[in-house]
Structure 1
Amino acid sequence: MPRYALKIEYNGGPFCGWQRQTGQPSVQGAIEAALARLEPGPHTIAAAGRTDAGVHGRGQVCHCDLQKDWEAFRLSEALNYHLKPLPVAVVAAAQVSTDWHARFSAVERRYLFRIVARRAPLTLEAGQVWRVNHDLDVAAMREGAAHLVGNHDFTTFRSVMCQALSPVKTLDALEIGTFEGPAGREIHARFQARSFLHNQVRSLIGTLERVGAGRWAPDDVKTALEARDRAACGPVSPPQGLYLTDVGYPEDPFA
C-alpha cells in the first residue's frame, strides 16, 4: 500500500480547525472526503500540525495511504478537483516510504503571524491578518521577543488544554519585521521550532502586542515566562493572521 505526502494550503476561516470533528467542517475531513472520491474509504490522514479554527496553512503537510499506485501530479490534480469549491488545495504531492510520517518525521515547523496596525476596518484582508487600531513599537516587541528564544519552560504560554507531556520547548527563532502591505503597515512575526505547544504562538503574540502597545515593558515578558503560570500570560491573540508556513524534514519529500 503506497504512502503519499501532501503539501496543503488552506484558508482556515470556514473550518473548525485541521482536526476532524463530528458535525463540523474541518480541513482533515475535507481532504479525507476527497480521497474517498478516488478510492473507497474510510481514509485517515495524519498531519504535521493540528491548526486551530481560523488558522491558515501555506505549507501544512499530511500523509495518506492508498491502494492504487498514483503518479504524484495526477493525485494532486484529482484531489484538487474533488476539493472544489472549498478553500483547500494540494500544492504538491510525492510518494514516500511506508515508514515516513508527516508528524513524527518532521524536524522543524515554521509559523508566520501577520498584524496590521490601522484604524479602518479591513475589507479585502479581513480574516487574513489581525488588525489592531493603534501603532505598535516594533523595537520594543523585538526586545521582549529576545527573552523567549531558546530552551524554556513555556507553561505561561500554553493552553490549559494542551496535551503535551512537557511544557519545555526550544524556540529556535523569533524574528519580527515590518513592511507596507496592501492593507497598510504590516508587522510579521516568524517563529521556528521543532514543535510547539497548543496555543503557544498565539499566546506569545498576544503578549508581544501588549509590549508593542506600551502596556507591558519588554522585561515583563521575561517575568511572565519565569512565572510558569498561565495567569501571567497576556491576552491570547485571535487566530486570523496565523499561518503554518513550512514543515522541515531531514530530506524534503517534495524536492
Structure 2
Amino acid sequence: RARGTREEDDSRPSKARRVDITPDPPCETKHAHRAEGPARTPPPPTTTTTTAGVERSRDSAPGVPSMGATRAAPRYLLRVQYDGTNFHGFQRQANARTVQGCVEDALRAFAGGGGGGGGGGGEGAETMSSSSIVTHGSSRTDAGVHALDNTMHVDLPPRVSRREPTKALPPHEPHVVSSALNHFLKKRGAPDVAVTRCIRVDPNRFHARHSATGRTYHYRMHVSPTPPSLFERGRVWHVCSGAGDRPLGGGTEGFYENAGDGRWGLDVEAMRLAAAHLVGTHDFSTFRASGCQASSPVRTLWDVRVDSAPSWPSFPEFPATDSIRPDDFSKVEVTENPEAQSGGKDRARAPRGRPDPGAETMRSHPQPSRSLTSGGVVVTAVGPSFLYHQVRLMVATLRAVGAGEIDPASVPALLAARTPRAVPAMAPAHGLYLSRVHYDGTREWSPLGAVPVEEGAD
C-alpha cells in the first residue's frame, strides 16, 4: 500500500531499543596527553538504560547492574486519542507524519531535547542520539484509523538538578507529563493528538503492548442515500446506494433499496446472526489481509455486536408548537420538473443516478422479513488481539449480510474458505476507531523474559 503501516494490532513483535541517557566523556578527557605526575582518576563508566529503565555500566554483563547504578528511568503509560485523518498510521516512519512520531517529538521537547518540529518525520525527529526518547505502542493502527484510547509507554531520563548535576530530582508527577505533552503537541503542530491520561508504572512489570489483555474496536456506518454531515466526513463510512457512490465493486449495492413496501436500510438482525458466528476461537484467514505477518491466523473474539446508533448531530428535537412550526416551502419552491408540480414531488426529488425510492424495484436477493435500519450503525469487536485488517474485512462482510447479499448462515462456510477472496473488499479505514486497550492485571510481563508472551497474541 502507498500509505500506512500495520492496522489494528499488528502482529509483528516490537523490538525494545536501548536509550543512552549519559553523554560521552568530554573531548579533552578522551584525548588528553599523558603527563608525568599523579595518576588521573579514570572517568566514571558510561551507563545505558535497559528496557526496564535501570541504568547499568556498559562494562558490566547484560542484565547485571553495576555497583553504582542506582538511578532508574521512570516509566509512564500514556493514553492517547487522535483523529487519524492526517496521519500515515500510528507507527513512526522516517518521512511521514505519524502519531508516534508526533508524541515522541513532544516528549523530546518536554525533556529538553528540542524535537523535530511536530511532524514526526523531520530530520531531528528520527535522529537516534544519546538524548533520544523512544515510545513503545500497544496497537499500530493504519492510516486514517482513529483512536479514542490507544496506549504507549515511555522511559523518561532521570531528572538531575541543573545547579547540582550530581543531585537527582524526583520524577515528574503524571499530570505534569500529560499537561506538558498536550502543550507541546499543540505548539508543534499536532492538535489532532491528545494525551488523555498518564500513569506512572513499574518498568520491571509493565509493557504497553505485552501487558495488554484486550482491545475494543468500533466501526461506524452512515446508512443513507444522502452524504453524512460535514462534521462526520472522514469519520464514518457512508453506506449508500447507486452507481455513483457504490462503496464496493462488482455491482453490489449499499443497502436494501426497496423491501417491497417502501422500506430501505440494513437488516441489523441478520447482521447480528452473522456476527454470532464470528465469536469464539477460529482460523480467521478469510479476514486476514495478504500483508499480515502474524505467525498464526487463529484469533479469539470475545464479542461482536451490531447496534443502531444516532447519526450526528444527535441534538434533541423540539416538538412543533405555535411558535415553532414545521418548514413549509410549498408557496415559494421552484422546480423545473412538471411531474413534481402535478403530485409526483417525491419521485422528482430522487437523487440523480440513484434508484427511485418509490419505484417497484425488486432485488435479486431475499427480501427482509424484519425491520430495516437507516442512519447510524455501529459494529463492535472485542478480543485479545486482531489480525491485519481483520475488523475492516469483517465489517464489509456484515454490511453485505445486512444488504441481503450474503446469507447469515453462510458465514461458517466463509470462515472455512480461509481466503479473503471469499468476502467483499474491506471497509474503508476512516470508519474504524480503536476504542480501548484493556489492562486487567492478569497478563504478567518481565523485561528478562521470565514470563513468555502468548504466541501470536499481538
What TM bracket, shorter-length normalisation? over 0.9
Q: What pairs up with 1:241-252 in 2 under 5 angstroms?
A: 241-251=431-441
For the pair 1:45 / 2:135, whether they are aligned, the reply is yes
1:150 to 274, 277, 280: 280
CA shift for structure 1 position 51: 0.4
CA distance in 2, matches of 1:2, 1:180: 43
Q: How many residues align?
A: 252
CA distance in 2, matches of 1:24, 1:219: 43
For the pair 1:113 / 2:214, whether they are aligned, the reply is no
1:98 to 192, 203, 211: 203
CA shift for structure 1 position 121: 1.8
For the pair 1:211 / 2:211, whether they are aligned, the reply is no
2:185 to 83, 105, 129: 83
Q: Deviations over 1:117-163 (max 9, x none)?
A: 01222311001111111421111111111111000000010111111
In structure 2, the residue matched to 1:186 is: 376
CA distance in 1, matches of 2:380, 2:95: 34
Amino acid at match of 1:125: E
> More strand per residue: 1 or 2?
1
Amino acid at match of 1:51: T
Equivalent pairs: percent with the same residue? 41
Provide TM-score, normalisation by structure 2: 0.54
Unmatched runs of 5 consecutive residues or more in structure 2: 1-72, 114-130, 160-170, 241-254, 256-264, 314-373, 443-458
Amino acid at match of 2:86: P
CA distance in 1, matches of 2:180, 2:225: 43
Query: Any idea what SS the aligned residue of 1:216 has?
Result: coil
Using CA pairs below 8 Å that are at least 6 residues apart, which structure has the higher relative contact order? 1
In structure 2, the residue matched to 1:27 is: 99
CA shift for structure 1 position 181: 2.3
CA distance in 2, matches of 1:237, 1:181: 19
2:298 to 142, 149, 168: 168
> More helix per residue: 1 or 2?
1
For the pair 1:228 / 2:418, whether they are aligned, the reply is yes
CA shift for structure 1 position 169: 0.5
Query: Any idea what SS the aligned residue of 2:143 has?
Result: coil
Amino acid at match of 2:132: P
For the pair shown, the structure with the greater C-alpha radius of gyration is 2
CA distance in 2, matches of 1:203, 1:63: 30
CA distance in 1, matches of 2:295, 2:134: 24
Amino acid at match of 1:22: A
Which shifted more, 242-251 or 199-208? Answer: 242-251
In structure 1, the residue matched to 2:236 is: 129
Query: Any idea what SS the aligned residue of 2:310 has?
Result: strand
Query: Any idea what SS the aligned residue of 1:98 has?
Result: coil
The ranges of structure 1 where at least 4 consecutive aligned residues each deviate by more than 3 angstroms after the TM superposition are none
CA distance in 2, matches of 1:75, 1:180: 36
Query: Any idea what SS the aligned residue of 2:376 has?
Result: strand
Query: Any idea what SS the aligned residue of 2:108 has?
Result: helix
Amino acid at match of 1:80: N
CA shift for structure 1 position 219: 1.9
Query: Any idea what SS the aligned residue of 2:294 has?
Result: coil
Query: Any idea what SS the aligned residue of 2:106 has?
Result: helix
CA RMSD of aligned residues (A): 1.4
